[in-house]
Amino acid sequence: CVRTLSGHTDIVTSVCVTANGQNVVSGSNDETVRVWSLHGFLTTLNVSSQVLTVSVTANEKHVLLGLKDNTVQVWSLDSGECVRILYRHTDIVNSVCVTPDGKHIVSGSTDKTVRVWSLDSGE
């Protein structure tokens, strides 16, 4: 192990690395998302539910979250604010990713569905 990133207060449920390879995003049952450089802590996003999965868009503008409250949330990495909440799942969202062109979010849920959303409109 060349580096340990500590700071979450509960189980870390998901991690991903930004496309440029410089930052790590982690989600936790402590209802936070932490953004790290490979050298240390950068910022915390305070979320309203346990975070089960995280993904970052290729342009590194947004982090996508799958939450225990059945939602997918889109957060701006620039502002640190939630910019969209997607509500169609009826059970926990345990997988989320973004298409390579950055136009669509794909989410998977314990409700046995996979949903495809427009990143821009949320539809």
Do 96 and 113 form a contact (C-beta atoms < 8 A)? no
Give the pLDDT score at 38: 81
| Residue 63 to residue 18: CA distance in whole angstroms | 10
DSSP string across 1-51: --------SS-EEEEEE-TTSSEEEEEETTSEEEEEETTEEEEEEE-SS-E
Give the pLDDT score at 9: 96
Per residue of the chain (123 residues), give pLDDT as tens: 888 899 999 999 999 999 999 999 999 999 999 999 988 888 999 999 999 999 999 999 999 999 999 999 999 999 999 999 999 999 999 999 999 999 999 999 999 999 999 998 888
Do 49 and 71 form a contact (C-beta atoms < 8 A)? yes
Give the pLDDT score at 40: 82
Specify burial of residue 59 (Cβ count, 10 A radius: 0-12, 13-18, 19+).
exposed
Give the pLDDT score at 2: 86
Strands 62-67 and 114-118 come out as unpaired
